[in-house]
Structure 1
Amino acid sequence: MLKLNNTLIGALLGLFFTLISITQVEAQTKSVKNIVLVHGAFADGSSWAKVIPLLLAKGLNVTAVQNPLTSLQDDVAATKRAIALMDGPVLLVGHSWAGVVISEAGNDPKVAGLLYVAAFAPDNGQSLSDVAKTFPPGPGNDEVRPDAAGFLSLTPKGIHEDFAQDLPESERRVILATQGQWAAVAPGEKIAKAAWRQKPAWYIVAKRDRMINPDLERAMAKTIKATAIELDACHIPMVSQPKKVASFIIEAASNVSRKELVSN
């Protein structure tokens, strides 16, 4: 009888440790440690400068892409190079124009989830322009100026009043001085396949956005079935409210799983 009890106890202990092991594996599959941050038009990788230290402090591996802003294809290629450098699954984060970029680049098999920050989320065969025309444009679009070389930039008024209006003047001046010129052909370039149709998505709506209509952001978040939050912020919440943006990224990274795929 004693021998039988010992055998039973041993079996139960074995089952217990097996269950613990399974739980640990499941927890690991729902956590992503690699974050690739993709900036939008009129910006560069430094737009994530306030968010990056907060992510690093949580033990995440972070890379900020430097998009050339010369075409959709070029920006997707730059993003995919950054993804390739990461060891393991990636949470791909895109701001504004970069929502188009990550919707295409996110088809990379290493990408486990997509997070949009006041960003465009086109569907299969759509461009930024296709999505933008479904709602009235933000007033900041009136401050976009083309140059003779085929690139776009924002006027000082556009930066100060529409792009970064809730930042201190000193920061707005830096953003104006460092803005990246954006190829005029880019808004009309279409993605082939929308990654959000197969992968889980998150979305940050900027309620004071004057570049993208906040109602359009809400509609896109609903369309892609994203877990969404709203921040009382301008078009660049990662600069004006970095703690809240970083917290949302961390939350998404801790819940990403390849098994959590949205239906087509």
Structure 2
Amino acid sequence: MMTRRDLNRTLAATVAAALLPGTASSQDAPRARNVVLVHGLFADGSCWSEVIPRLQAVGLNVTSVQNPLTTLEEAVAAAQRVLARQEGPTVLVGHSFSGMIVTEIGIDPKVSALVYVAARAPDAGEDYTALAKTYPTPPASAGIVFDGDEGRLSEAAFLKDFAGDLPMEKAKVLFAVQQPFREALLTGKTTRAAWRSKPSFYAVSTQDRTIDPDLERFMAKRMGAKTIELQASHLSLISHPQEIADLILEATGQLHGRRG
């Protein structure tokens, strides 16, 4: 039986969809030769290491941003500097928290399409934390520990709730390079929503224990994104790199030729 919460979510999604006349179809994405990847919390730029060679193999120019994870403003600035160096149409890809960055800077005329990988996708000025609280609290949240104003995931939470579908040896390597984040990062709000005007793509992780999968589905539906669902942990970019690479290739306008 549908609960009141389920009904409220359904109504919210319906209203949101009705209010999105400017949302671009994924079919509108022009062909791009550049891809800029942005990582989220509990990681660094190396988290894209399984996806990068698959994109480079078809001749794409790929750059992985080193997100400072200090404040939203500084994280946005770091990604903007990388974006400024690209020549021609560029697909902007964000994992996890960096969906905030993709949403903020994706309005740049150089950006041809947006790809969200189990990522936050707030509207302009939206309080993402408040939105997330309307869904069940993901288990990983309980594993965040702070040293002063620096936060990180405990090893137990990282291995079980963040990288739960990865081989233990690989997950431990990723834990070793985990970059702490500043608490101030979590207070930032986007001022723009690029997905309202740019073709958007979303990869939902159905086994996600870091962002609730139903929240991911809600955000993907609200933006009118071309959506795929992967039976993956929060780190689908590592456990399912080919599927993520294919979604990015579709956003660049090159997947059809590759499959043919």
1:141 match: secondary structure: helix
Answering whether residue 71 of structure 2 is matched by residue 64 of structure 1, we say: no
Answering whether residue 116 of structure 2 is matched by residue 116 of structure 1, we say: yes
Amino acid across the alignment from 2:44: D
TM (normalized to structure 2)?
Answer: 0.85
Alignment of structure 1 residues 34-183 onto 2, 5 Å: 34-148=34-148, 150-183=149-182
Q: How many residues align?
A: 227
Could you tell me the percent identity over the aligned residues?
46
Answering whether residue 200 of structure 2 is matched by residue 201 of structure 1, we say: yes
TM (normalized to structure 1)?
Answer: 0.83
Q: Structure 1: which 4+ aligned runs deviate by more than 6 Å? A: none
Contact 1:30 1:255 in 2 (8 A): no
Distance in 1 (CA, whole Å) between partners of 2:43 and 2:137 is 20
1:187 match: secondary structure: helix
2:209 match: secondary structure: coil
| 1:183 Cα deviation from its structure 2 partner | 1.3
Structure 2 unaligned residues grouped into runs of 5+: 1-28, 256-260
Contact 2:30 2:112 in 1 (8 A): no
2:253 match: secondary structure: helix
Contact 2:155 2:175 in 1 (8 A): yes
| 1:130 Cα deviation from its structure 2 partner | 3.1
| 1:131 Cα deviation from its structure 2 partner | 3.0
Distance in 1 (CA, whole Å) between partners of 2:191 and 2:197 is 14
- Structure number with the bigger relative contact order (C-alpha 8 A, sep ≥ 6) is 2
Distance in 1 (CA, whole Å) between partners of 2:98 and 2:110 is 18
Distance in 2 (CA, whole Å) between partners of 1:66 and 1:130 is 27
Distance in 2 (CA, whole Å) between partners of 1:215 and 1:50 is 26
Larger radius of gyration: 1
Cα deviation 1:214-249 (Å, max 9, x = unaligned): 000000000111000000100010111111111111
2:220 match: secondary structure: helix
Distance in 2 (CA, whole Å) between partners of 1:43 and 1:127 is 23
